[in-house]
Structure 1
Amino acid sequence: MIDKKKLQKLQDTMAEALDMAFIAVDYRGRPVVEYSGFTDFCCRMRERPCSRDLCFQCDAHGGLHATITGEPYIYRCHAGLVDFAVPLILDGQYLGSLLGGQLELTDTEQDLQPLLPQTTDWRSDPELIEASGRVHRISYEKLKASISLVRDTMQGLLEDSRRGAVQANLERRIQELMEERANRANFQETVAGSQFGLIQDYLGGDFFFYVLNVLSCLAYREKAEETERAVCDFAAMMRYVTENADSNFVPLGEELGYIASYLQLQKRRLEGRLQYDIQVPEKYYGVLCLFMMIQPMVENALRYAVEPSEEGGSISIRAHEEGELLVLTVSDNGTGMRKEQIEAILRQRSGKHGKSRNYLTNINQRLKNIFGKRCGLVIRSKDDGFPGTEIQVRIPLRNEETLE
């Protein structure tokens, strides 16, 4: 839709003229061009595994907020800097967002709320403190005027691109129809076949996420807050699954983000009978783990500890270090597992197709095959003096070389 070279040039020019950082992202929050005018502070933050994922989450959520309202959205990122998102909407279709900012305000009375509940404690790092002192400062009124200018400029680029795309598409369709007509005697069949092809093109993965965006916008306009949040959680889950479907390993921070959305949906389904908390230090977010490693442990707690009880139950996710290993723990307060059940899970072997019917068994075997016997699952329950069931998964803290 938009010529990336034109977009990059315009983005670079705005960054230079306004002394702000900019990056254009698609509807999933992924950059479509290179960064423009990024501060040294934010470049350093995005190099750190413990804060990089939070930066990306701010990018995605900022764009989503702007999309829901259809207006620019100003917010504070997890590090406390002022950012904004300008939605890129053409003919009612959300294309993405232009994210900008990395600023401090001179107006101390302006109380902008942080976008994420998590914050990053960077003030213990001398290099980051020094870099933060070079961040550009601006008044709130000048910021709003700059955002208005950016929005009008981007809208102009969209309109120009649309006109060019329409003309190019028209010429392409005419050429295609002429070629089809030369091969087919019936022109009506050609048009019908062409229209069917267009429908197939639109009903792809992008269309799926577009529908979720539409549902989210409708829920916002109808003030159905719970529905809006549920759609956003489901969209986050689907993005994670579709983007990592071909991956064996993912950063732990991304896996935990998926689990948080999954538990939020389960909490709504169980109507408050589920309580959960995730307390994993950010310093572990960059550790690589198996894709969809945590969900079977959470599902086990839901199925046997929460759902059977009229009062419901709780699930807790924690992490700590033991030497060179990261120990991630999923625990519940249910009735527990019998010793023979635990032994069956840990001792079971794969069948002739290489997989067991029990997902916990599969995870245990895969981890041991990849990282050795010291890794895998440890399951404890009431026979070990625990109030419910505790499943630990042990993986190396630094495993990049092994995975290579």
Structure 2
Amino acid sequence: MRVLLKINDVIDVEVLQKIQDSFSDATGLAAVTVDYKGNPVTKYSNFSEFCNCVRKDSNNRDLCYQSDAHGGIESARSGKPAIYICHGGLVDVAVPIMVKGNYLGAIMAGQVKIPEDEMKKLPYGTSHELTDFTKHPEVLESYDKAWKTTLTQVKSAADLLYTIANYLVEKQMIHIMQEELHNKNIELMEEVKLRSEVEASLKEADLKALQAQINPHFLFNVLNTIGRLALLEGADKTQEMIYAFSDMMRYTLKKEKNNVVTLKEEMEHVQNYLSIQKMRLGNRLNYSVQIDEMAEDILCPFMTVQPFVENAIIHAVEPNAKGGRVEITADIQKDGALLKIIDDGKGISRDRIHKILDGTYEADGREKNTGIGINNANKRLMYYYGVDYGVEIQSEMEQGTEITIRIPRKSLVGRGL
């Protein structure tokens, strides 16, 4: 029987202890609450001299726990109180504590004698053999002092205990459900807030600004490099650079009315960007772009990857005199694709990562534009796919940075695409 919760998850143990003590005082029966293994959860209430004496011995105590566990499970199976004879020969009652079909434990009561003809009607708690206490006269003496009552009175006490247990569980479950509902309302409000923020940031002017997010510093470097190549070399590399740059501009401009692309298109755009940077930086930049063919047709928001690659160039490659390496991969998974952008730069501090992703990082010039691009990409991913998605950034100082983006294979219809 699988246990998903513990008794103290659904019932206040201090309150249970007070009710258990009052029940024992009112009925004369001993009581204790145990978990599904028979281990006590509350303190003993009105335990008999016999049971206290028996439980002083560890072996006998283990038998008591086993008897309680067995009685509790039997009550859980029947869904009502179980009345049985414990291994010590006294009558006990087990009242199950059940939550959504899961057995958490039981309230045990009893430790009494009833007439022999009524005893014969009851099952044994663990086996048909009672524990032999003939070598323990003090135990046998305390057994004779056990309180005597009738089976009818035991049943009435069991019904009362069952009513109390059900009330406590139902009361606490209502409280738990109210808390869950409150938490879900908070999550819904946060999601609505996130959607409204993204919708505001994705107005036409903001979107056009995002699409034109190839900053002036980058354009200046491109034009400078084209000029030097034209002067010092033949036309082949110049032509290659111009083609790559033209494809990037065409990719940016043609998405003005369609903000969704395939991963193949997005990666081709990144490849063009990197090839231009390679011509500018030469041997200081090494890179690789690998995309699983099975992932090429998966749709993703436009300009999802490029801001992170640009960030890697700015922070991992350019500041290093020896340059650096950038690796971009897109692997197919059961539910979509897994994108990674990895560099071997100096890394990013946790505080800076947090500020970049929540849009509070303040920087100047080119670095500021890149930070905005990363924040926008992260917000759009959460907007289109839900708050469980978005960007994960793992980085260690002097160890490089790894960006992880999960693109689910789900429809983007109704998300503004």
**TM-score with structure 1 setting the length:** 0.44
Q: Which has the larger radius of gyration?
A: 2
**TM-score with structure 2 setting the length:** 0.42
